[in-house]
Amino acid sequence: MSGTRVVPGACPLDCPDGCSWQVTVQDGEAVALRGTPDHPYTRGTLCVKVNQFLEHTRAEDRLLYPLRRTGRKGEGRFERITWDDALTEIAQRLTKTIERHGGEAIWPYQGTGTLGFLQGLQGRAGSRLWNVLGASRHDMTICSIAGLAGLTYTLGTSTGIDPESLAQSRLILLWGSNPLTTHHHLWKVIQRARSDGAHVVVIDPIRSRSAAQADEHIAPLPGSDAALALGLLHVVVQEGAEDQEYLDTHTVGWPEFRKLVMEFSPGRAAREAGVPEEEIVRLGQRIATSRPTAIRVSQGIQRHAGGGSALRALACLPGVTGDWRRPGGGLLYSTDGYFGGNREALYRDDLLKRPVRSLSMTRLAEGLLETDDPPVEALIVYGANPLASSPDQNRIRQGLAREDLFTVVMDHFQTDTADYADIVLPATMQPEHLDVHDGYGHVYVTWNEPAVAPPGECLSTTETFRRLARAMRLTEPALYASDEQLASELLDSEHPSLSDITVDSLRAKGWARLAYPEDHVPFADGFPTPSGKLEFVSETAEADGFDAVAGYVPALEAQDAELARQLPFVLISVASHFFLNTVFGNKPELRRRAGPPQVVVHPQDASMYGITDGDRVRVSNARGAFEALAKVADVVRPGVAMSTKGHWPKHTDDAGPNATVAERDADMGGGAVFHDNRVQITPLGGADTDNEDAQ
């Protein structure tokens, strides 16, 4: 063995690809990391962000010890303390809070830093402890929820088709999805389809990396997708390409939905979506003749006031053409539901003594500044960086600065959010703890074996919560389950997807394909809706206060012509190629490659508003402002401006795109509206002069 071993693991990040990786360990040190070569989806490659993950684990600025704040909130001055002191203080504060206001005054604010079932989001890490304490429930609204809710009205589930089936598609619509940046392993599948003659169309207001590589790019107005979909279906029906037999046997409400489709002539859809009528007719005809057609839609498109409705309408499209029954046809948003692990066993919601309120992740400012009965007195942030990532940055800052708020942040690095903590706790990184992962863009499950000892005094999330439970003298045995116990409780499930997967088999190989056949068609036996069919008309939606018929709900700010006069740009802040949300926002090499924060505007807009390439500009609205360098390029359509998420506010002017984003809900699920955001852009003077007083 000569001291060298290869340890199987998983990329923990919030990315659909959920890569399987291997860590080479020599004499107790991780010396190499690579994508697992024989994993059918990872295929031996990670990505530009994660290739140097091991370096990131050894970064100079890594948090290694518990810290107590010594300066003002936000100032960033801390002193090292022992774990015992940290846990004693946290236990006392939480106990006092519970005595005064009850458990609901505690807000466990968990983010997407790791998706692991033990250490992260998928297993709602910490859930058992919060249930015992009766803490407020944290509602994960930040990423994909509006779309999940919209799809569920149509399909009865949000779980879509197997991405690997796209290899069999004849037409692929990448609808508000940029896989070359956000989940690049799908591109290999797309290329396989293309080599068999498939045509790839990107539908995105921005000519993304993926759009630039596609066969065709259609650039609709932000938030107009459902109108576009209805226009395309109008053409499909005009061409006589609806699958009447499928409609009769597998759907409900076609007559009502058809009526709506017939109201969306290509001309009307073209006006709503701001694209040429010919493009709609041409793509409609292509859909009419391309069996099967697959739609890959990811999260970007549902960050608008009508985002849930958009997904609800898009899922209807393969219902009209009958593609839901063909391998390579249908829609993929998430594969979350394929893994039938026993999530309930991890959550242990039975430990909750009485129902508790929910607080929405994307309404942190409201939660901290306006909520009483009881007020939020203790905020435990883990795997999240809300000061950078959540809407209405300025008010979040105000909330975090509250002197009477007790804040604990568990993280790897001293983020903007951590600067507001009373206590900072150092967390382990992926090669240092045990975890189990699935993926939301494939149908595999992965085992992450600890490869090396944690540096300094870093502790895993599970161990931190076990020690906190002990410090609080809690007696519930479920709070002390070991990581191995948790993993086996998760995998101990009757669900057929896990029929031949055990802890031992998974641990030995590192990954397994869930037990679905190769050409699996998810809705071959019907849909899990109340009617058992695809629902163009949904009584459930109607009962929830939505139109019974799936349709078009415009964006709020993006489609507001009145507002557009003062705030001419719709700001879309997309995924950066080099960061994963705010993870890696402090990694020097990736920061260098990403460059400084930019805002991209169309040449026509640039000349209208006096913006020159390289100008320092102020991007603002009534909610707030941030500074960036202007880039003038026709990758955006006129009226749209693009920036990226991921830059750390403290590296720039203490602000980012979310200073301008409203703390407002999308139509469904309480989702965020990051892209339904109007701003103005004002030059601050040339890049060289650096004159902030100019205008």
Ligand X SMILES: Nc1nc2c(c(=O)[nH]1)N[C@H]1C(S)=C(S)[C@@H](COP(=O)(O)OP(=O)(O)OC[C@H]3O[C@@H](n4cnc5c(=O)[nH]c(N)nc54)[C@H](O)[C@@H]3O)O[C@H]1N2
Residues binding Mo ion (CB under 5 A): 143
d(C-alpha 655, C-alpha 637), whole Å: 25
* Cα–Cα distance measured from residue 390 to residue 108, given in angstroms and rounded to the nearest whole number: 15
Contact 385, 357 (CB under 8 A): no
Shortest Cβ distance from residue 303 to ligand X (Å)? Answer: 6
One-letter amino acid of 212: A
**What's the CA gap between 90 and 73, in Å, rounded?**
17
| 62 backbone dihedrals φ, ψ, rounded to 5° | -60, 135
Tell me how far, at minimum, the Cβ of 251 lies from ligand X, in Å: 24
The residue type of 161 is I
Q: Which does 119 bind (CB under 5 to 8 A by kind): Mo ion, ligand SF4, ligand X, none?
A: ligand X
Between the alpha carbon of residue 575 and those of residues 15, 195, 208, 393, 414, the distances in Å are: 11, 28, 10, 18, 22
Q: How far is the CB of 48 from ligand SF4 (least distance, A)?
A: 8
Contacts to ligand X from residues 3-22, by CB under 6 A? 14-15
Smallest separation, CB 128 to ligand X (Å): 17
Residue 389 binds which of ligand SF4, ligand X, Mo ion, none (CB < 5-8 A, kind-dependent): ligand X
Residues near ligand X (CB under 6 A), total: 63
Q: Least distance (Å) from ligand SF4 to the CB of residue 47?
A: 3
Residue (253 or 656) nearer to ligand X, CB: 656
**What number of chain residues touch ligand SF4 (CB under 6 A)?**
12
The three-state secondary structure class of 26 is: strand
Which one of 645, 647, 650, 678 is in contact with ligand X (CB under 6 A)?
A: 645
| Residue 13 binding ligand SF4, by CB under 6 A | yes
Q: Write each residue from 43 to 62 as x if it is in contact with ligand SF4 (CB under 6 A), else as -, in one continuous string.
A: ---xx-xx------------
626 forms bridges with which residues in the sheet?
619
Window contacting ligand SF4 (CB under 6 A); options: 8-16, 63-71, 347-355, 430-438: 8-16
Phi first, then psi, for residue 490 (nearest 5°) are: -65, -45
Residue 18 interacts, among ligand SF4, ligand X, Mo ion, none and using kind-specific CB cut-offs from 5 to 8 Å, with ligand SF4
Q: Which stretch binds ligand X (CB under 6 A): 25-33, 263-271, 397-405, 569-577?
A: 569-577
- Helix and strand numbers (H, E) in the chain are 25, 27
Would you count residue 585 as binding ligand SF4 (CB under 6 A)? no
Rounded Cα gap, residues 202 and 218, in angstroms: 6
Question: Does 206 interact with ligand X (rule: CB under 6 A)?
Answer: yes
Nearest-angstrom CA–CA distance, 607 and 417? 38
3-state SS, residue 580: strand
**Could you give the CA distance from residue 338 to residue 370 in angstroms, rounded to a whole number?**
39
The Cα–Cα gap between 456 and 5 comes to 23
Tell the burial category of 537 from Cβ atoms under 10 Å away from its Cβ (0-12, 13-18, 19+): buried
* CB distance 642 to 657 below 8 Å: no
Report, in Å, the least distance between residue 592 CB and ligand SF4.
19
**Residue 11 touching ligand SF4 (CB under 6 A):** yes
**Is residue 623 at the binding interface for ligand X, with CB under 6 A as the rule?**
no
Query: 385 and 415 in contact (C-beta within 8 Å)?
Result: yes
* Angstrom distances, CA of residue 689 to CA of 486, 606, 611, 683, 684: 58, 19, 15, 12, 9
Instruction: Pick the closer one to ligand X by CB: 21 or 175.
Output: 175
Q: Mask 165-184, x = binds ligand SF4 (CB under 6 A)?
A: -------------------x
Of the candidates 360, 426, 347, the residue with the CA atom closest to the CA atom of residue 118: 347
Q: Whole-number minimum distance, CB 21 to ligand SF4, in Å?
A: 7
The item of Mo ion, ligand SF4, ligand X, none sharing an interface with residue 438, based on CB under 5 to 8 Å by kind, is: none
CB burial class (10 A; 0-12, 13-18, 19+) of residue 475?
exposed
Shortest reach from residue 117's CB to Mo ion, in Å: 17
Q: Which does 46 bind (CB under 5 to 8 A by kind): ligand SF4, Mo ion, ligand X, none?
A: ligand SF4
Single residue of 315, 388, 400, 662 touching ligand X by CB under 6 A: 388
Residue 11 to residues 19, 34, 217, 435, Cα–Cα distance (Å):
5, 10, 31, 10
Q: How far apart are CA 427 and CA 402, in angstroms?
A: 25
**Using CB atoms, what's the residue nearest to Mo ion?**
143
Q: Which stretch binds ligand X (CB under 6 A): 38-46, 69-77, 395-403, 581-589?
A: 581-589
* Residue among 142 and 537 whose Cβ is closer to ligand X: 142
Cα–Cα distance for residue pair 144/298, rounded to 1 Å = 8
Residue from 39, 128, 250, 304 touching ligand X (CB under 6 A): that is: 304
List residues binding ligand SF4 (CB under 6 A): 11, 13, 15, 17-19, 46-47, 49-50, 184, 580
List residues binding ligand X (CB under 6 A): 14-15, 49, 111-114, 119, 142-143, 175-178, 181-183, 203-206, 208, 220, 222-223, 225, 298-301, 304, 382-386, 388-389, 410-413, 415, 427, 461, 572-577, 579-583, 645-646, 657-658, 661, 674-675
